[in-house]
A and B are shown apart, each in its own frame.
Chain A
């Protein structure tokens, strides 16, 4: 069975600085997807960024980028120019390719933005 590990329960960063959230996963599959989701306090979970395992190029979405190391099974999220609105719980998630399976989530990292 696949597992997702987020080793940082909480991270703090100064506004406008850069922060990296860590995620490792374990799977025997070759076809899978990795995601970072953001859950602001009392608000809806939204997708931040997605990475297909077959793509070697790291995904980027504006200030958000990932460092996908397939051999090491590592999938970290870098947030550049941190903003107050980035404060939230961030969840790393895995999904097997080709099926209707749900997501396997890590335990989450609480990101605090210091003004």
Chain B
């Protein structure tokens, strides 16, 4: 079954640690996205990718970085976690092209808490 996966689902970590949030999709979608959802539930785009070796910054400035070495995989890394990074991170993917549905499919999210 085609789907989009995120691991871990929950992460509690101390300040200064390096973390990587994983996102994988089995739908063969070219476009992938990372959104940050703050405790007030507001969602902001922080990174996106058109395809392999393509990464772009989103609307909200973020200290995180992303990579896209394989179509199905779009990990997000924080080199040094801080309490201000505490949030839920949602990964999404969609088809690319004017004939596509433009629907974005979302993963279950990673809830990150930095102490």
Query: Given A50-B103, A100-B31, A102-B48, is A43 in contact with B108 using a C-beta cutoff of 8 Å?
Result: yes
- The segment from B19-27, B38-46, B71-79 found at the interface with A is B38-46
Interchain CB contact (< 8 A) of B48 among A33, A91, A100: A100
Interface size on B, residues (CB 8 A): 26
Q: Mark B52-93, 1 if CB is under 8 A from A, else 0.
A: 000000110000000000000000000000000000001010
Query: Given A45-B90, A98-B98, is A103 in contact with B41 using a C-beta cutoff of 8 Å?
Result: no
Query: Given A100-B31, A102-B58, A104-B59, is A89 in contact with B48 using a C-beta cutoff of 8 Å?
Result: no
A101 at the interface (CB under 8 A from B): yes
Are A105 and B43 in contact, with the CB atoms below 8 A? yes
Q: Which residues of chain A are within 8 angstroms of B103 by Cβ–Cβ distance?
A: 35, 47, 50
Within 8 A of A (CB), among B93-110: 96, 98, 101-104, 106-109
